[in-house]
Structure 1
Amino acid sequence: MRELKYREAIDEATRQAMAKDERVFVLGVGVDDAKGIFGTTRGATLEFGPNRVFDTPLSEAALTGVAIGAALRGLHPLLVHARNDFLMLTMDQLVNNAAKWRYMSGGSMRVPLTIRAIIGRGWGQAAQHSQSLQAMFAHVPGLHVVMPATPADAKGLLLTALTTEAPVICLEHRWLYEKTGPVAEEAYYTPLGHAAVVRQGTHVTVAAMSLMVLEALQAAESLAAESIAVEVIDLRTARPLDSETVCASVAKTGRLVIADTGWRSYGVSAELAARVGRECFGDLRAPVERVALPDVPTPCTSALERAYYPGAAEIGAAIRATLLVRGRAPAAPSVEARGKEFSGPF
């Protein structure tokens, strides 16, 4: 099978959805720029032109309101935000309108709206430009939240979102755009709320999201040299959250580590830990371990960023904690090993 970069998979999914459904259009600041939001909208701009892919004023709340109105009138907007941080300016529209119209209308009205937003660290972008806010959106009934980790899921989940008659927020980690992987040429649809077991194991389960899936796989590979078999689950979506797949794995391994890109407290990792604690209480042989951001705002300097962001080393240490295995955790990868540091403009 051919391979695409993560960003190329998003571009292909957008073009295939627009070719199939004339209701789909793309709007957002910079979507028709020559760089096309890391290249994810450039192909759609060239293929469908300014009538269906167009730049907008920098007014997040107004744009989201326009998109919701268009969705209520039968279109399917794909609204692109360069950063999920500024979705905070749209919370009234998202929480009190997009998420609730179906329920308030007794099911007679739909809001087929897809929002793409970028999460994760950048070049010292600090507290207001590097957040992972999936837990805030996943807390709201009526919103779906997806976090693809691979190019294949970036395409499949976006195509599913663009055929869903409900608001879907797609959160993309900026460090994933240049990652490559196998992607089918034809359109395909990855169902929401279905996690994927991406590595088989028998000793410990690691459930991860977004970039942390790659970090978990790296930790699992390092520990395999010591005969520690780690099962890695890509959660794929924060809401709906597939705790059933995780519980089935925990029933086999008896141990669970959850790796999230967001803050530790009140996040997706806490929700999953609560579910597993209730459903798998008799299967757990050790307390659930969580690897997530510390409960402080994101720092700016590169030295503090290295201390702030967890990765394979921290996941490896958490795995050892569940096994009560002493020894050296896998070394933290260098910046070069992780990939080129992100650089502007977004």
Structure 2
Amino acid sequence: MHNAQQRPQHALPLNLVEAINRALFQAMSDDHRVVLLGEDIATNGGVFRATEGLKAHFGFRRVMDTPLAENLIAGLSVGMASQGLKPVAEIQFMGFIYAALEQLISHAARLRHRTRGRLSCPLVIRAPFGGGIHAPEHHSESTEALFAHVPGLRVVIPSSPARAYGLLRAAISCPDPVLFLEPKRLYRLQRLPVDLDDAPLPLDRCFTLRPGEDITLVSWGAMIHETLAAADHLAQAGIKAEVIDVATLNPLDRDTLVASVSKTGRAVIVHEAPFTGGFGAEIAATLASDALMQLRAPVTRVTGYDTPMPYFAMEREYMPSVERIVEAAKQQMEY
């Protein structure tokens, strides 16, 4: 992203939900085929107001309220996408997405393969996910690994306003279906400069947020916030941590991860999803197979626990903390 002082007329301080709104506005302005649909997204602008003002600007034919029916939302999106539109559908919370699995797994992700390339399915499913805002359990879970297992379905997770803006624009332009998971804990956490003239960010690529040579810290989504803070703490102890934002879980940019860990020899993977079967296990397996001879310590995972996300009184105890990440990193350094 360009320095704000170089191009002040285009770099705006935005929080993540504002960046989502700007990306949708830009995509709809650039391409009349982009349409929005979801529960309460038109008149009310959605639960988190990510689509606020878009119906007033583009009209009810392009910004549509739907019934409370996730299977219908996904099915409509598949139909629209197969016939030339570019739907961007919102699922109100990730915990409500499971009714749409049939459409996403059996149809959206398979359409190009099934028709031997005759049809594609350029749709985006947006869904807020993750904990940290004191919501009930079905509003706070992180089951991204479930979707990353599906061939043909991209899984993209931004961790900052600039990456939300750039990655969403790229997702809308993608000819294949994208599940775009938005960490709602970051929606209004901070405003950062976003250059609205920057090109869309590349999908399928990890981002190295901080260089280092002693240990690699790998994360995505909201946990990037704690991971960067942990890197700051480690720096005070003389440990230089490289921080990698995975950003796109499927397909995974294995080359960047392997190159980093081959350099540092150590890796800590951080995510708030449960430990067992979490996507961190896939990354750990990749590092064990492709960087084994460079590893100086076993790969460590700092994750949520194998329980449902608890109610808000114990939510903080469930989610990985800066202290847990720092402790895991220091144990790696002592191995």
**Same fold, judged at TM 0.5 (above):** yes
**Equivalence for 2:197:** 186
Q: 2:275, 2:304 within 8 Å by CA — same for their partners in 1?
A: yes
Q: 1:124, 1:299 within 8 Å by CA — same for their partners in 2?
A: no
Q: Which consecutive segments of 4 or more residues in structure 1 shift more than 6 A?
A: none
Q: CA deviation at 1:311?
A: 2.1
Cα distance in 2 for partners of 1:285, 1:185 equals 42
Q: CA deviation at 1:312?
A: 1.2
User: Is the aligned partner of 1:238 residue 2:249?
Assistant: yes
Within a 5 Å distance, the mapping from 1:325-340 to structure 2 comes to: none
Within a 5 Å distance, the mapping from 1:136-175 to structure 2 comes to: 136-175=146-185
Between stretches 287-296 and 115-124, larger displacement belongs to 115-124
Q: 1:9, 1:151 within 8 Å by CA — same for their partners in 2?
A: yes
Return the letter of the residue paired with 1:11: N
Q: 1:137, 1:145 within 8 Å by CA — same for their partners in 2?
A: yes
User: Is the aligned partner of 1:134 residue 2:144?
Assistant: yes
Taking a change above 3 Å as real, the CA distance of residues 278 and 5 of structure 1, as seen in their structure-2 partners, is same
User: Is the aligned partner of 1:50 residue 2:53?
Assistant: no
User: Is the aligned partner of 1:114 residue 2:138?
Assistant: no
Give SS of 2:293's match: coil
Cα distance in 2 for partners of 1:280, 1:123 equals 37
Cα distance in 2 for partners of 1:92, 1:119 equals 20
Q: Please, which of 285, 298, 314 is the counterpart of residue 274 of structure 1?
A: 285
Cα distance in 1 for partners of 2:143, 2:37 equals 22
User: Is the aligned partner of 1:102 residue 2:112?
Assistant: yes
Q: 2:46, 2:52 within 8 Å by CA — same for their partners in 1?
A: yes
Q: 2:207, 2:244 within 8 Å by CA — same for their partners in 1?
A: yes
Q: CA deviation at 1:314?
A: 1.2
Return the letter of the residue paired with 1:116: R
**Equivalence for 1:217:** 228
Q: CA deviation at 1:127?
A: 3.0
Cα distance in 1 for partners of 2:70, 2:272 equals 24
Cα distance in 1 for partners of 2:171, 2:215 equals 32
Return the letter of the residue paired with 1:252: K
Q: CA deviation at 1:128?
A: 2.0
Return the letter of the residue paired with 2:238: S
Cα distance in 2 for partners of 1:284, 1:128 equals 38
User: Is the aligned partner of 1:320 residue 2:333?
Assistant: no
Q: Please, which of 1, 6, 9 is the counterpart of residue 19 of structure 2?
A: 9
Q: 1:9, 1:152 within 8 Å by CA — same for their partners in 2?
A: yes
Q: CA deviation at 1:100?
A: 0.6
Q: CA deviation at 1:46?
A: 2.7
**Equivalence for 1:207:** 218
Q: CA deviation at 1:117?
A: 0.1
Q: 1:122, 1:130 within 8 Å by CA — same for their partners in 2?
A: yes
Cα distance in 2 for partners of 1:279, 1:126 equals 40
Q: CA deviation at 1:123?
A: 4.8
For this pair of structures, how many residues does the alignment match?
324
Cα distance in 2 for partners of 1:20, 1:187 equals 15
Cα distance in 2 for partners of 1:152, 1:261 equals 22
Q: 2:132, 2:316 within 8 Å by CA — same for their partners in 1?
A: no
Q: 1:159, 1:187 within 8 Å by CA — same for their partners in 2?
A: no
Give SS of 1:77's match: strand
Give SS of 2:105's match: helix
Cα distance in 1 for partners of 2:44, 2:66 equals 15
Give SS of 2:118's match: coil
Taking a change above 3 Å as real, the CA distance of residues 182 and 123 of structure 1, as seen in their structure-2 partners, is closer
Cα distance in 2 for partners of 1:47, 1:282 equals 57
Q: 2:17, 2:187 within 8 Å by CA — same for their partners in 1?
A: yes
Give SS of 1:65's match: helix
User: Is the aligned partner of 1:79 residue 2:64?
Assistant: no
User: Is the aligned partner of 1:63 residue 2:73?
Assistant: yes
Cα distance in 1 for partners of 2:63, 2:208 equals 36
| 1:18-61 residue CA offsets vs partner (Å, 9 max, x unmatched) | 01111101010111244544231113223212121121100110
Structure 2 unaligned regions, length at least 5: 5-10
Structure 1 unaligned regions, length at least 5: 326-346
Return the letter of the residue paired with 1:120: G
Return the letter of the residue paired with 1:310: P
Q: 1:16, 1:187 within 8 Å by CA — same for their partners in 2?
A: no
Taking a change above 3 Å as real, the CA distance of residues 26 and 307 of structure 1, as seen in their structure-2 partners, is same
Q: 2:45, 2:53 within 8 Å by CA — same for their partners in 1?
A: no
| 1:187-211 residue CA offsets vs partner (Å, 9 max, x unmatched) | 5211111111111111110011101
Q: 1:138, 1:145 within 8 Å by CA — same for their partners in 2?
A: yes
The alignment's TM-score, normalised by the length of structure 2, stands at 0.94
| 1:217-272 residue CA offsets vs partner (Å, 9 max, x unmatched) | 00111121111111101111111111211111111110000111311111210000
**Equivalence for 1:344:** none
